[in-house]
Structure 1
């Protein structure tokens, strides 16, 4: 490839990444964001399949987007057995490249399963805001060809991962804020019911809700929702 072709290719890639950034930041939520990530990976990288696994607080990682059922099977087998590059990438916030599943000996059981599915090359890239930040998730890239990913693929995957991490963090923050607003609305409605029924002020109504929440080990918003639905406090 001559200099002109390289410049043209670089310009097209820059335009593609610019469009990706717009698509991700205009996505309506987490699911739409990760879907745009995996679809872009198929266009820009030397992979046949792609997927995203996201870290969740207090639970196993979730798998919100895959381009093929084989990716879901690869992810789920690791989540069940806690073995493989996905787990290592999420734990260590480090990129893992498997050049050939038929010869890689780091996770022999996993490699045998993945090779049997027809996947030979794997590139798992962490989605993290920084070395000191917790891992948001992992972008996984897969190919049926051995040694499919070169240095350029890895560099592009890291750029994609950085875009995706920021977009996902924004989408999750917005979802958390929306949930907080909904919770405040529910508690406000429940307080209004108590104030009207028992002729108490706002402070007393909130104290009653909080006491029931603590006594029943139930989230405050759930206590409020039950009161709104049944017009009764939890027994």
Structure 2
């Protein structure tokens, strides 16, 4: 992370005040922690983080992109449509500061998109959208911080908008977000697993009643149909419950 000296940072936009001191910053993060704890899922979690960024940092726009298993990262939350455009251009071309932050698990800062030389084509398009300063901070999870959950993107229409204090606060916010997103995903996965077990149990009951077989045999039938049709076990169970028929094929 670059902690170079910063001078002449513009004031935060009206309606988006920066915390005036350390105590206010701590209080703000305490409120965020409570809000993230009360969030119902991943969507609510990332939206809370993005909105908090507008209050705690010298940015006009914020957004979060999350890694997806077996797919390109997804745009999870944006505070303005311009952020979705900034994200989409990078995800489509697989290049840019966001992609670099995801890959390298390191923050990337662009002090002025009008003079940026690492990604000149992307930077010119972003500057045309009215975005001059960019700060992308990775959301890193795991015991050794070896897994990138996503990236928090911060944007300002002013050049050289993000100083050392902004970077430090953004890093703390990213740590909060990393834990919250990982927790929300785990809870969602557990809930889905419980739901799948319930579906399979219902389907097994249908087979046991229809064919007068025991539970082991009913589960074996569902598993065989799942393998033969290359369909997830829960989907086989759901089809049997909905149609009272097993999938063909």
TM norm structure 2? 0.90
1:12 and 1:103 mapped to 2: Cα distance?
35
Is 1:223 aligned with 2:239? no
Q: Does 1:52 align with 2:79?
A: no
- 1:76 aligned to 2:88? yes
Report the counterpart of residue 212 of structure 1 in structure 2: 225
| 1:109 Cα deviation after fit | 1.0
Q: 2:50 aligns with which of 34, 38, 63?
A: 38
Task: Choose the corresponding residue for 1:105, options 117, 123, 133.
Answer: 117
Per-residue deviation, residues 88-126 of structure 1 (Å, max 9, x unmatched): 001110100000001110011110110110100000000
Summarize deviations over 1:48-78 as a string: whole Å, max 9, x none.
0000000000111111210000000000111
Query: Aligned partners of 2:156 and 2:20: how far apart in 1?
Result: 26
Q: Which has the higher helix share?
A: 1
Aligned length: 229
1:133, CA displacement in angstroms?
2.1
Q: Following the alignment from structure 1 to structure 2, what is the Cα–Cα distance between the partners of residues 134 and 16?
A: 27
Equivalents in 1 of 2:26, 2:195: separation in Å?
A: 39
Structure-2 residue corresponding to 1:14? 26
| Alignment-derived partner of residue 3 in structure 1 | none
Q: Does 1:61 align with 2:73?
A: yes
Extract structure 1 runs of 4+ deviating beyond 4 A: none
2:83 & 2:35 partners in 1: Cα distance?
23
Matches within 5 A, 1:119-138: 119-129=131-141, 132-138=145-151
CA RMSD, 1 decimal: 1.2
Distance 2:73 2:241 in 1: 33
Distance 2:37 2:141 in 1: 16
Secondary structure of the residue aligned to 1:51 is: strand
Deviations 1:176-219 (A, max 9, x none): 00000000000000000000000110000000000000000000
Distance 1:191 1:103 in 2: 64
Query: For 1:136-189, what per-residue CA distance to the aligned partner results, in whole angstroms no more than 9, with x for missing partners?
Result: 000000000000000000000000000111111110000000000000000000
Q: 1:8 to 1:70 in 2, by over 3 A?
A: closer
Structure 1: gaps (5+ residues): 1-6
* Equivalence for 2:210: 197
Query: What residue ranges of structure 2 are gaps of 5+ in the alignment?
Result: 1-18
Once residues 8 and 39 of structure 1 are traced to their aligned partners in structure 2, the CA distance between those partners, rounded to angstroms, is 18
